[in-house]
A and B are shown apart, each in its own frame.
Chain A
Amino acid sequence: MINAPSMDDRRPYIDNWKPGEGAVWLTKLDQALRLAQTNSIWPLTAGLACCAIEMMCTAAARFDQARFGAEVYRATPRQADLLIVSGRMSWKMAPIVRELWEQMPHPKWCISMGACASCGGVFQTYSIVPGVDQIVPVDVYVPGCPPRPEALLDALIKLQNKIRSGQAKNPFAEPAGRMDGA
């Protein structure tokens, strides 16, 4: 049997709030901004390989990425906050992904989805980038081949925790490798 909430359980600012009554929180601006950024991450519609199928599944009804405010996949990098590198990246694709990353406005984050994106996976070969962190700075790595949608959601929540607590990578962070080969 579930007890009805007592007066002690009430949250003063929400449950006692009446229209016309003012409610004021004091906070720091960057904390408020981080709260907004945390709950409105817009990923970029960019799929590289089979992990992209799981990424689409994550956004669809069964797993429903919208529960975390991250369902608005943008088709242009200029409106996106999050780059999900979903799949193996070839050296030929690397400049294009880097270009997408640099077109995204700050602040921006990156999830490396799957074994191939994180370290090259089974593709220990001349044509695949051994870890996309040589091309873009990565906040969260997701293991799996491909990762389940739950794993991607877990990565998303971990990223949200990092953003909320201010521990996400410096948005101006540079990747480990350099595109000009220097």
Chain B
Amino acid sequence: MSTLQDLKIHLQSALGAQAQRIWIEAEALIVFVESSGIRHALTKLRDDPDTSFDIMSFMTAVDYHPRQPRFEVVYELYSTRRKHRVRIKCLLAAPKNELELPEIDTVSDIYLAANWHERECYDLMGIHFRKHPDLRRILLPARWDGHPLRKEYPFDGKREWNLGTTVIDGALMEGDLGL
């Protein structure tokens, strides 16, 4: 697979119908995958000796409000053996109920790097990763209300958080002390 074009043809045959759309843009290969089949697709891309995507560079999510489906989860994979990369995207619709989070399966057991990235996605964008081993906030305090990178979140914050009275109280509430 010397060129991106060859990789594209190979992925088309390897993923089959799972690849909903596949195209090359700005020297990057982009594949849209059905969100329910993300685990299957990533496992295949990792284990196939012709692709051997052994590293997840990053994963993130984008909010395209008010477009429907609203969210896009993006996985960037890299192969240290073949020196090529691919960008996998999944469309996620926002649930009708505002309090519910959009859901997708975790890939943290396929790529270990995804563990913290999924926590960050959950923290800032409010995407629930099914069967994630430890899905809690990673950057913001545990008592934070809402997911600040979403479009409906106020630009300069809500300014009404319960910060706790002392550091010990806060740590206890966040479970940082392991008590």
Contacts and interface: CB of A to CB of B under 8 A. Distances in A.
A166 interface: no
B160 A181 contact: yes
Secondary structure of the A side of the interface?
Answer: loop
A181 B166 contact: no
B155 A91 contact: no
Secondary structure of the B side of the interface?
Answer: loop
Interface in B134-174: 140-141, 148, 153-167, 169-170
Contacts, number: 47
Contact of A91 (B153, B161, B165, B169): B161
Contacts of A95: 163-167, 169-170
A181 B156 contact: no
Q: How large is the interface on A (under 10, 10 to 19, 20 to 34, 35 or more residues)?
A: 10 to 19
Contacts of A126: 148, 153-158
A124 B155 contact: yes
Interface of B: 140-141, 148, 153-167, 169-170
10 contacts: A91-B141, A95-B165, A99-B167, A124-B156, A125-B156, A126-B158, A127-B140, A130-B156, A180-B163, A181-B160
